[in-house]
Structure 1
Amino acid sequence: MHALSFVESMMTRFLQTVYSHRIKAFIILLLVFVGYVAANIPNLQKDGRVEAFMHESDPALSTYYDMRREFGQDNRLVVAVAADNVFSTEFLTKFSRMHRELADNVPYVSEIFSPYNIPFIEHENGGLYLEELVRNMLARGRNPEDLRERIMSTPLYKNFIISEDGKTAAVVIEPYRYAPSTNDCVPDPANGVTCAVAFTPLDERDLLGGPHYAEMTAAAQEIVANYQGEGYDVYIAGAPVLSTEIVKMMEQDMPRFTLACVILTVLAMLVLHRSFLIAIGAFLSFVMAIFSTLATVSLTGVAMTPPTQLLIPMTLVVGLCTYIHFIATLLKTRAAEKDGLVALKNAVKKANTPILFTALTTAGGLVGLAAAPLAPITALGLFGTVSVGLSYILAMLWATLVFRTLPERYLDRQTEKAGVIATVMRKGAMISANAPRTTLAVCGGVVLAAALGIFQLSYSHNSLLWLPEENGARLSTEYIDANFRGTVNLEMVITPTEGSDFRDETLLKAVEKTAREAYAAVDIPIGRHTSIISFVEETNQAINDGDPAALTIPGQEQIWDQILLLEGQGIDDMKRYVSMDYSSGRVSFQTPWLEAKLYSDVIATIETNFETALGDIATVESTGLIALLAKTSKKVLDSMTISYGLALGLVTVLMAVALRSASLGVVSMIPNVAPFVVLLGLMGYLNIPLDTFTVLIGGIITGLIVDDTLHFFYNVRQRLNAGEAMETAIGDAMSDIGRALFTTTVVVMLGFTVFTMSSMSNIQSFGMLMASGAVLALLSEVFIGPAVLMLYAQFKEAKHQPRVSAVANVPAE
């Protein structure tokens, strides 16, 4: 334990220096804080994309990015317009104007499709040509009703640019594959602008990301807002819109949460301690810790995601627990010792070890999160550990500065006697200590009853349902999903084996047959499927004078000829479904935005059917946003198992080290685990699913529970070493730290209630559960903690008694 003595000595010297030079310390602290935060916070990024939940090294994400590089985007914006008659001249004139404005003013647009510009494949004089019938018809003043049947009978367009019932038309915007680079050059020979020939490998170019999607969404929303009106109902959805809306919610919530946490913290501390200085110290400690942590996030280039918002309450828990316990210890030592420096030294000696180990055990719980398979949870674990370190140092520092600044008359009023709160908590602890078996039987029954609810616990990942029911992005997504049967895609990338390519007749027929069978093979709606086969079939029908029976895959020779015709006409759209050399192709299935776990069976079924149908002639790999959503859903449970397992192991070891007893360390985990079990059971009974927020409850609540347990058990241990009996030690320990335990619980509970103000439903649930967890943690410490300590003492005494008896009965020589 020499290392602990060294840490205690260094902390004493540091804080005594701060105490003696408070003005200099304050100025240096303020300058460092302002400089660090000002240099980094402005660059803080936010990301609500599905991809942001995956690690960059995740094979699923690599496969998805490879697909985007090869074939193009599946992140599309969809602008749908409902009207009484979408085939009227009046409607299409207005719709076409909106289409052109979107094409001209939305940035990063690679392709844009709608009834206005969609090409029809026509065959004339042995050749193919494309005609934008709607645009041409409007230009010639003809009646668009003449095209209704043609558009509605074309599979390529149904549930893409026109709904199945023909009452809603859509503009589909496909973004760039890659983000623009400062080195990009656009030649303009007329003005003498030339570009040097340069080649950048595709895997070195940055893909279009969250900020670009936000720009696109904002521009599109601004344009369509001008067209919204009676008889012209506009809906805008798609993955870019949803991710942008989530980021917007984050930007609204983070300042509100921070401000509310600060206000509640100051008020609670003001009421409980009746000192404005102590309240301000808590405020400054929390604010500096959270902003320094966010500045560190920004410095590393990691984007804030919805789960990493939880750094705010995490910092609140750790920082305030440290601050409250240390300021309470300072005031108690000052009551016995009038010399401030000596009182400070005594306070560090008394409180630093449990405070330090509280920080270490909390960090241990967060290290468990750092091993999670979901990127935001890993980030929360890593930066949460940073937050723990900063909170520990800043809380100790600010408590010292406040202690040095408090007026003498306030300090002289302090007493070592237990107050009303501590007295009440002592009585509760003594009830438990006097009847440990009865207390544990009652508490065990409650925990067991709650634990049964765990069997009803489900897991979920559906970011659409995070948004309020009246949210525009959610309503638009639900409308388009209902009328077009989908806003997201499942991609099947098919790679023919050596000696074949994606123009092989046998392969194409097997692919199309399997794709058509997928509609009946799965339990979710599929709006459409698209591949290069769709264009081959359309071409074959055009060549055969529009005969509906010819909407099929022709023979091998005709396939080659028709693909050559399509290439000759420059139909770039089909190239989005096949590689440049036809070595691979994709089949896109359009489906609604659903609960992510529902996609797992769908993907497995479709992928298995393709593998069975294709056999040895091709390999199949699933990807796309749906595949990422499905994998994210599974990783929620993986994260829980890995994170909680590591956290439990690390916390147990650190508790044993802090208490200098392996057996006592294990016993101390009982009041630590019980509140968490009850919380999980409540989630099951209340039908609150495990998601990327609620799965973090265990890791974060650990900080609060461990803080209470460690301070209580450590205080008891110190009193036992001083010769007190267990029952007396329990009562005196609760008298000593009861007020601090109660204060941390109240302040943390109020802090978590802030999250019930969130616009996002899952964060509301998280806040409610964490506030409940704070209360459960306190109750566990008051009742379960003393009971297990008494039984532990009785067990140790019973184990020791036979040895004493045996020694006493040994005959004298």
Structure 2
Amino acid sequence: MFKILTTGFWEAIARLILRNKIIILIAIVLATVFFSSQWKYMQFSSTEANLLPDDHETNLVYNDFLEIFGEEGNLVVLGVKDSTIFTVKQLNAWNNLADSFKGYDEVDAVLSIKDLQKLVKNTEKERFDLKPFIKDSIANKQQILALEKELFEQYPFYDNFLFNAETKTIRTAIYLKKDIINTPARKVFILNVLQEKIDAFEAQSGLDVRVSGMPYIRTLNSKSIIDEIPVFIGGALFVTSLIFFLFFRSFRATFISLIVVCVGVMWTFGILGMLGYEITVLTALIPPLIIVIGIPNCVFLINKYQQEVKSHGNKVKSLQRVITKVGNATLMTNVTTASGFGTFILTESTLLKEFGIVASLSILAIFMLCLLIIPIMYTFLPFPKERHLEHLNKRWIGAFVHWMESMVKNKKISIYITTLILIITGIIGVYQIKISGSLIEDMPQDTDFFSDIRFFESEFNGIMPLEIMIDTKRKKGVMKLSTLKRMDELEDLIIEIPELSRPISVVSLVKYSKQAYYNGNPKYYQLPTSQENSFILSYAKNSTSNTDMLSDFVDRTGQYARITTFMKDIGTDKMERIQEDLQNKIDKLFPEERYEVTITGKALVFLKGTKYLVKNLLISLTLAIVLIALFMAYLFRSFKMIVVSLIPNLLPLLITAGIMGFIGVPIKPSTILVFSIAFGISVDDTIHFLAKYRQELQANNWKIRKSVYGALRETGVSMIYTSIVLFFGFSVFTISSFGGTVALGALVSITLLFAMLSNLLLLPSLLLSLERNIANKEVLKKPSINIIPPEGDDEASSDNKKHD
């Protein structure tokens, strides 16, 4: 009864589409206009993606830190490593460049060599005064030599901050205002002011200026993402349409397919705008994904239309049968693909939720557009010419299908042995996979800003902030000598860790104060003794300049202090080891009853976010497998059929994971997506094959072998076509400058290629080997949903076996 209703439903849909084609086209145009009007609400991400839920403990700790000390990622650094910088002309030009940024509203403060001040003891007023190293500008070489001696030999407080005493690299620090860090104003300043001034300075001075800092990296990285969107869309359109044309040899069919996927892309951008989601490194992938997924839909529909036309020559009947026969199957396959993406919605990561929602809606939208536009467009076009149907008789694809049929008939043992070898090899590879928590690993490595990151890592030990916040649980507790000593011991450990930069904190300032008290003698750059502490701190308290400097390291109440260090871009394992070492030292130095010490900062948030995301993506993949297994159970009413259908789709995932382990591609947010995307798409072939197999069983009076070979011949051509389109379509992502996107494209392409072979060789072999257990009338005679309706009673019996 359900089968009849389903068939009748699709016949009604076919009549509705073909009889109301003008109204439907107008509705599609109006919907496209509506979605186009939503483009203005699209936003480009101004922050790095927070991979953690808002209520995650790591986020709560980080937000507490920001509430006390404000935004930490507001530093942009300019650096130069060139011996000519220490000449009168070049050093003055460098300082003038720094001064030129001070008048901008977006800038909070600028520190260059010229802005450095030394603490000087004022005995008369019992305070410290600030005296600049450079009063106005450098006048002669002697001043430069004196400056170098003071900075590089006498004042360790500034070492590794604005200069590297060993390599003579100098840098300028530009602090942007904290309230513009996560707004478009940051992007405007960096691209239109900062870069233009640096370019002009380089042209005039001949110096190579290196630029880094989190605001700069985020801006340039975001710009790279935006710049690649049209490249991906154009590349996907070109590659898929070219392959489509080579298959069908029809400008007409190719043009119709391009219209469908272009409208689909317009709708996708409209959905992003309508929902108010930001374009991130993930959502930027959806438009080209829709092209790559949409073209196979076009292949199935147009291929079926041309098969029908060649069979009986009736255009109207052909279009009706395209909708009734392929419509249901295409709906099911698109639903499974959308389900694969939809499982991301169940995660607690906002980044993944938004990706899952937009991708799922876009996939269902492209299915609807294919089903409506393609049949309607063909009603207005003339009957296909003979050359448009020649591809149905291509010898190479027929030979390939014949080879597969021969393998399934005669080489099942070889197929199973090969499968077993691949499984064992894949498992070995899986155990070699590592998880990556690198913040910059996926960034474009051939860009200037990436090489600048490596430059600052080499010269100043990193640019990713790692913060340690000490809560003394009492006001003015930070300036207690016992607290300062504990902080100093912790800083000694940080200095010993090669992946971390020299820390900056109130401890450094107190040491500098003692040095100033002893008239700038560098051997007194140390914490004061208990006897010295009271009168040195009294000098410091009388100095307004010291109070200003103190505000960066201690909160207004004196209860909270921060230790800031910068971390190199290192792997997850090293980062966890560093965190563990720091935590062990903290536990020993700071008693719980007196202190509460937390480790935070963007570096740690990203580490935790990566691990959380990988965990959620694994859960998402498991959910996708379970969801699709339930879907197969609903279709075929057989647990054994579920197992048989999942094996050919899980095998390619295992092979890909093994390849990742052997070639050293780590598990990270970009690569873990491979498995959910590939599984959701590859299971479509299984559904097509099993649905056709069931139909063949019914037509052939439950003759197993004949039905398997018939299904293989019928679905093989379309599966090969779509797999080739998908392979080259996803390969477009390998042109990206982002390592993660390249890995995503290459790995999905490889996985789908293995999935095609697995569904065309392993799946039929399993059906033949297990025919007595699963291929029986009780299991397959009455499906829940008849995916491919049987041929109509009015058709010739020969037709019944000729068409999918």
TM-score, normalising length from structure 1? 0.88
Select 1:506's aligned residue among 482, 486, 490: 482
* In the alignment, structure 1 residue 155 sits paired with structure 2 residue 156: yes
Report whether the alignment pairs 1:294 with 2:269: yes
Structure 1, residues 224-244: CA drift from partner, whole Å, max 9, x if none?
A: 111115662211111222222
Q: CA deviation at 1:275?
A: 2.0
* Residues 16 and 344 in structure 1, CA contact (< 8 A), matched pair in contact too: no
CA gap 1:563/1:386 in 2 versus in 1, 3 angstroms: farther
Task: After TM superposition, give the deviation of residue 348 of structure 1 in Å.
Answer: 3.3
Deviation at 1:500, TM superposition (A): 6.4
Amino acid at match of 1:224: I
8 Å Cα contact 1:541/1:552 also seen in 2: yes
Aligned match for 2:655, one of 663, 678, 683: 678
Match in the other structure for 1:224: 198
- Counterpart in the other structure of 2:597: 620
- After superposition, the Cα gap between the structure-2 partners of 1:340 and 1:301, relative to the gap in structure 1 and judged at 3 Å, is same
Corresponding residue for residue 415 of structure 2? 439
Per mean C-alpha deviation after superposition, the further-off stretch among 79-88 and 259-268 is: 79-88
- Distance across 2 between alignment mates of 1:304 and 1:56: 19
SS of structure 1 residue aligned to 2:43: coil
Q: Secondary structure at the match of 1:777?
A: helix
Work out whether 1:543 is the aligned partner of 2:517. Answer: yes
1:518-538 alpha-carbon deviations (Å, 9 max, x no partner): 222x3x333211112222221
Question: For each residue in 1:61-95, what CA deviation from the matched residue of structure 2 results, as whole angstroms up to 9, or x when unmatched?
Answer: 34334323421333221101222154443232111
- For residues 482 and 213 of structure 1, the distance between their equivalents in structure 2, rounded to whole angstroms, comes to 26
Q: Which residue matches 2:217?
A: 242
> Separation in 2 of the partners of 1:449 and 1:211?
49
Q: Where does residue 229 of structure 2 map in the other structure?
A: 254
Instruction: Work out the CA distance in 2 between the residues paired with 1:413 and 1:764.
Output: 35
Does residue 357 of the first structure (1) align with residue 335 of the second (2)? no
When structure 1 is superposed on structure 2, of 259-268 and 223-232 the one drifting more is 223-232
Identify if the C-alpha distance between structure 1 residues 507 and 9 changes in structure 2 by more than 3 Å, giving closer, same or farther: farther
- Equivalent in the alignment of 1:111: 109
* 3-state SS in 1 of match to 2:534: helix
Q: Which amino acid aligns with 2:363?
A: V
Distance in 2 (CA, whole Å) between partners of 1:781 and 1:797 is: 17
> Is the 8 Å Cα contact of residues 694 and 766 (structure 1) preserved in structure 2?
yes
Distance of aligned partners of 1:160 and 1:7 in 2 relative to their CA distance in 1, 3 Å threshold: farther
Which deviates the most, 277-286 or 337-346? 337-346
Q: 1:283 to 1:6 in 2, by over 3 A?
A: farther
Please point out which of 676, 681, 690 is paired with 1:704: 681
> Which segment is superposed worse, 352-361 or 528-537?
352-361
Q: Tell me the percent identity.
A: 20
- 1-structure distance, mates of 2:158, 2:313: 84
Shift of 1:741: 0.9
Amino acid in the other structure paired with 2:93: K
Aligned to 1:127: 127
Aligned equivalents of 1:550, 1:32: Cα separation in 2: 74
SS of the equivalent of 2:171 reads: strand
Could you tell me which residue of structure 1 aligns to residue 612 of structure 2?
635
- 1:658-807 equivalences in 2 (<5 Å): 658-722=635-699, 723-796=701-774
Do the aligned residues in 1 keep the contact of 2:475 with 2:559 (CA within 8 Å)? no
Q: Note the C-alpha offset of 1:408.
A: 1.7
1:467 to 1:639, Cα distance in 2 relative to 1, 3 A: same
Q: Is 2:490 the partner of 1:490?
A: no
Cα pair 2:495 2:503 within 8 Å, conserved: no
Moved more, 571-580 or 408-417: 408-417
Match of 2:551 among 562, 575, 587: 575
SS of residue paired to 1:32: helix
Deviation at 1:491, TM superposition (A): 0.1
Please give the secondary structure, in 1, of the residue aligned with 2:157. coil
CA drift of 1:738 comes to 2.0
- Would you say the 8 A contact 1:51–1:628 is kept in 2? no
Residues 79-125 of structure 1: CA deviation (Å, up to 9, x unaligned): 012221544432321111101112234x5222221111122222212
**Cα distance in 2 for residues equivalent to 1:798 and 1:394:** 37
**1:645 and 2:619 are equivalent in the alignment:** no
8 A contact 1:47–1:243 mirrored in 2: no
Query: CA shift at 1:43, angstroms?
Result: 3.5
Query: 1:796 Cα deviation (Å)?
Result: 4.1
Write the distance in 2 (CA, Å) between the matches of 1:413 and 1:752: 27
Residue 148 of structure 2 aligns to which amino acid in structure 1? R
Q: Does the aligned pair in 1 maintain the 2:423–2:651 contact within 8 Å?
A: yes
Deviation at 1:492, TM superposition (A): 0.4
Query: 2:222 is aligned with what amino acid?
Result: V
1:433–1:786 Cα contact (<8 Å) kept:
no
| Native 8 Å contact 2:462 2:566 kept in 1 | yes
- Answering whether residue 42 of structure 2 is matched by residue 44 of structure 1, we say yes
Secondary structure of residue in 2 paired with 1:445: helix
1:222-621 to 2 correspondence within 5 Å?
222-228=196-202, 232-336=207-311, 340-372=315-347, 374-410=349-385, 420=395, 421-422=397-398, 424-498=400-474, 501-520=477-496, 522=497, 524-554=498-528, 555=530, 557-558=534-535, 561-566=538-543, 568-569=544-545, 571-616=547-592, 617-621=594-598
Call closer, same or farther: CA 1:411–1:63 in 2, change over 3 Å: farther
TM-score, normalised by the number of residues in structure 2 = 0.89
The 2-side partners of 1:74 and 1:130 are apart by 26
Residue pair 2:339, 2:680 contacting (<8 A) in 1 also = no
Q: How many corresponding residue pairs? A: 766
Deviations 1:230-263 (A, max 9, x none): 6622111112222222222212221111011111
Report if the CA contact (8 A) 1:81-1:168 is conserved: yes
User: CA 1:260–1:604 in structure 2 vs 1: closer, same or farther (change >3 Å)?
Assistant: same
**Cα displacement string for residues 144-197 of structure 1 (whole angstroms, at most 9, x for unaligned residues):** 322323222323311111113252211111222223xxxxxxxxxxxxxxxxxx
Q: Is the Cα contact below 8 Å between 1:451 and 1:681 reproduced in 2? A: yes
In 1, Cα distance between the equivalents of 2:155 and 2:10?
A: 76
The answer as to whether partners of 1:335 and 1:415 remain within 8 angstroms in 2 is no
Q: For residues 206-227 of structure 1, what are the alpha-carbon distances to aligned partners after superposition, in whole Å with 9 as ceiling and x for unaligned?
A: xx31633322321212111111
Matched-pair contact (CA < 8 Å) for 1:81–1:169:
yes
Letter in 2 for 1:329: K
Q: Distance in 1 between matches of 2:399 and 2:46?
A: 48
Gaps spanning 5+ residues in structure 2: where? 779-804
Alignment correspondent of 1:89: 88
Task: Give 1:214's aligned residue.
Answer: 187
More deviation in 130-139 or 411-420? Answer: 411-420
- 3-state SS in 1 of match to 2:351: helix
CA shift, 1:310, in A, is 2.6
Secondary structure of residue in 2 paired with 1:528: coil
**Matched-pair contact (CA < 8 Å) for 1:52–1:305:** no
Other structure's SS at 2:605 match: helix
Give CA-to-partner distance per residue, 1:120-142, whole Å, 9 cap, x none. 22221212222222244648997
Contact 1:597/1:633 (CA < 8 Å) preserved in 2?
no
Are the equivalent residues in 2 in contact too, given 1:519–1:525 (CA < 8 A)? no
Moved more, 370-379 or 541-550: 370-379
Kept in 1: contact 2:316–2:379 (CA 8 A): no
Between 412-421 and 658-667, report the one with greater CA deviation. 412-421
Decide whether aligned partners of structure 1 residues 140 and 314 sit closer, same or farther in structure 2, where only a CA change above 3 A counts: closer
Match of 1:425, SS state, is helix
Report the CA distance shift for 1:269/1:797 in structure 2 as closer, same or farther (over 3 A). closer
| 1:624-662 Cα distance to aligned partner (Å, 9 max, x none) | 121123213323531342122111111211122233433
Secondary structure at 1:178's aligned position in 2?
Answer: helix
Mean Cα displacement is larger for which, 406-415 or 660-669? 406-415
RMSD value over aligned CA atoms? Answer: 2.9
Q: Residue 164 of structure 2 contacts residue 170 of structure 2 at CA under 8 Å; is this kept in 1? A: yes
The 3 A distance-change label for structure 1 pair 419 and 478 is closer
Between stretches 410-419 and 71-80, larger displacement belongs to 410-419
